[in-house]
A and B are shown apart, each in its own frame.
Chain A
Amino acid sequence: EDQVTQSPEALRLQEGESSSLNCSYTVSGLRGLFWYRQDPGKGPEFLFTLYSAGEEKEKERLKATLTKKESFLHITAPKPEDSATYLCAVQGGADGLTFGKGTHLIIQP
């Protein structure tokens, strides 16, 4: 059974204070690891797909990395508008995604 654990559950940062979110996973045959952002009352918004260990992807202040056991979402010099819940998900043998519980990120001005 595929499993995803995200940490920390919640994180409060000052504007400009860089940090990283962790996603640990176990999966039989990784087909993809996905990062999503979810704002209150909205559906998850796609950010990145990573397929193999060593892969990295960047978008504005966000960078996602992947190893064989975990993925990190690095946030550099965050702004208040980066506040959201960040979800990690894996696609293994099944067609649907297996999600973690998310990290609730708050960036204070």
Chain B
Amino acid sequence: GAGVSQSPRYKVAKRGQDVALRCDPISGHVSLFWYQQALGQGPEFLTYFQNEAQLDKSGLPSDRFFAERPEGSVSTLKIQRTQQEDSAVYLCASSYGFSEQFFGPGTRLTVL
């Protein structure tokens, strides 16, 4: 399939550990978005890339969260010194320009 893929699908971390979540967008999609979804809630915007440029990071909850997309394709969301409140599903989406966004399956992060 040619959809958005994310890895790992599940991640368990001890409080204080660093984690890295990967997103492979749909080929040719210039826009890439990261969202955080808590249980029973809708996704919340974290950050947005257009090609390799991070144009909006207003949704990142703290400076422990960092995202990159160095070659304009694959993106990595890194969370340093994880806390229990970081437990959530992290969703990646891609789009061609400002059209509809297509989502990956998400990474479920559990911080113990």
Q: Give the chain A neighbours of B46 by CB distance below 8 A.
A: 96
**Is the beta-carbon distance between A96 and B56 smaller than 8 angstroms?**
yes
Q: Is B25 an interface residue (CB 8 A)?
A: no
**Size of interface on B: residues with Cβ below 8 Å to A:** 28
**Size of interface on A: residues with Cβ below 8 Å to B:** 24
Of the listed stretches B11-19, B64-72, B79-87, B101-109, name the one at the interface; the rest are far from the partner chain.
Answer: B101-109
**Is the beta-carbon distance between B56 and A95 smaller than 8 angstroms?**
yes
Given contacts A42-B105, A96-B45, A97-B43, 6 further A-B contacts (CB under 8 A): A34-B100, A43-B91, A43-B106, A45-B103, A89-B43, A95-B31
Q: List 22 A-B contacts (CB under 8 A).
A: A4-B42, A34-B101, A42-B106, A43-B91, A43-B93, A43-B105, A43-B106, A46-B100, A49-B100, A87-B42, A87-B43, A89-B43, A91-B98, A94-B56, A95-B98, A96-B35, A96-B45, A96-B48, A96-B56, A97-B35, A99-B42, A102-B41
